[in-house]
Structure 1
Amino acid sequence: MSRYNNPNITANMRNLIDANVAAFNQIPGVVIIHETVNWTVVYMSERGLKQLQLSLEDVCSMTSAEYYSNFFNEEDAKIYVPKIGSFMHGNNVEDTLSYYQQLKFPGKDNWQWHLSSTKIFLRDEHNKPLLSITVSIPIDAMHHMAVKADRLLKENDFLRQNYTNYSKLSKRERTILKEMALGKSSNEIAEELHISPTTVDTHRRNIRDKLSTKSSFEISQYARAFDLI
């Protein structure tokens, strides 16, 4: 079975991929090429195939749904998949999109963090994306990076779950939320914003009511997730 049974893969695409296979296998990471119609894999370097314990034909015969459900964490996929879609739609020549992914390989119990970077690899005669290329590098060996990736994932989850509450805040309330997260008192905030402490206290109560928060930790969660601090 040929990996090029995919009807979306043209002769020019095949030639471009085949001409670069030797170089792809020298890159210190896994190289994956997707076609942009159904987002199926059309090439993966040897390092990745060994990790998945599959042949290139096996990987390329999978639908995108099968590929991602078999190996990728669906929770963090909710974060980066829309970003990839927006990136491809933007179709900028020099841009590269980087993001964190968790993968679980056959015979392993734990998810492994990877830092992946994607770029458009080939465009059609109308300058629309045909192929994307991704380089994926494991980061679990760099403990501080894995911890950071886990924190970013949790912050993104919090953002999605609490966006409706946050959107209720006025511009002034968001400013005061930031100062609250920094541990400033009502008097300090009032002096900085040139308003009365009583007005600040009112804003603080309204912020807690709108966000349904009871602790300083929850206030800090909102401030971090929505890039206020």
Structure 2
Amino acid sequence: MSIPTMEMELSTKIAQLELVSEDLPAVIIIHNILTQTVEYMSPWGQRILRTNLQELKDMGIAYFHRFFNPAEMDDYVPRIMQMIQENKEREFVSFFHQVRPSAADEWQWYLGATRIFFRNADGLPTHCITFALPVEQAHYINAKVNRLLEENTFLRANKHIFGGLTHREKEVLTLMGLGRNTAEMATQLNISEKTVSTHRRNIKNKLHAQSSYDVTRFAQAFDLI
């Protein structure tokens, strides 16, 4: 397939989407994988971002940094890149992300889903498509997603500290997170109470924990409880 023919096929697919884009309850975005630029965005998305398609194309990669919260990008962007690299049929990545048209606006949650949209003559992905569904501000999921975001941020910031714990210290941390006392830990782990006390002290020092809440937060963030 020649390049002009491929470009015509891509344009035809985008034109077909345009016919129904305003009837869909989601914003449609098509990205050029090779140039990392926006190829198409449905009119609804342009209105939300208070921009137009040509401006989006001219932004290039700056588009991502201007409109999206980088706190979640570390989670979903690597998964999207892996999906593209594996190049599997019907595969998609779903994710929550926050968007705002300017720094003066509040972040708005969206549920996104991305998959490969177009491939070249060699079968390699060149474009991906994303559907972004806005989450109602009053919806209970907003509070849940915000808590998840905070936990993920905490996890990334403290991964090196958690990695410094020994296997036994992680076992003790699990029981601390569950509220077990020293005697209960000693019995369950088959070690002396003195050893348990030493582990507890070392764990608090390594985690810079000032309270039982700090300890529990670590245990929860790293899926120990």
TM-score (norm 1): 0.85
In the alignment, which residue of structure 1 is the partner of 2:159? Answer: 163
Which of 58, 63, 73 is 1:61 aligned to? 58
Between the aligned residues of both structures, percent identity stands at 37
1:13 to 10, 15, 21: 10
Q: 1:28 to 1:167 in 2, by over 3 A?
A: same
Q: CA deviation at 1:106?
A: 5.4
| 1:32 aligned partner | 29
Is residue 149 of structure 1 aligned with residue 145 of structure 2? yes
1:100 to 96, 99, 109: 96
Cα RMSD for the two superposed structures: 2.3
Seen in structure 2, the aligned counterparts of structure 1 residues 91 and 219 have a Cα distance that, compared at 3 Å, is: farther
Q: Deviations over 1:8-29 (max 9, x none)?
A: x833322222233223332211
Select which of 115, 123, 126 maps to 1:119. 115
Matched to 1:191, the amino acid is T
Q: Which residue of 2 aligns with 1:227?
A: 223
Q: Which amino acid in the other structure matches residue 15 of structure 1? A: T
**Which among 35, 48, 51 is matched to residue 48 of structure 2?**
51
Matched residue, 2:187? 191
2:190 partner amino acid:
H
Alpha carbons of structure 1 residues 22 and 211: separation in structure 2 relative to 1, 3 Å = same
Displacement of 1:78 after TM fit?
Answer: 3.6
Structure 2: which 5+ runs fail to align? none
The one-letter amino acid paired with 1:206 is N
CA distance in 1, matches of 2:219, 2:124: 38
Tell me which amino acid in the other structure corresponds to 1:177. Answer: L
| Alpha-carbon spacing, 1:92–1:201, altered in 2? closer, same or farther (3 Å) | farther
Q: In structure 2, what residue type is equivalent to 1:36?
A: I
Question: Please, what TM-score do these two structures have when normalized by structure 2?
Answer: 0.86
Distance 1:190 1:107 in 2: 53
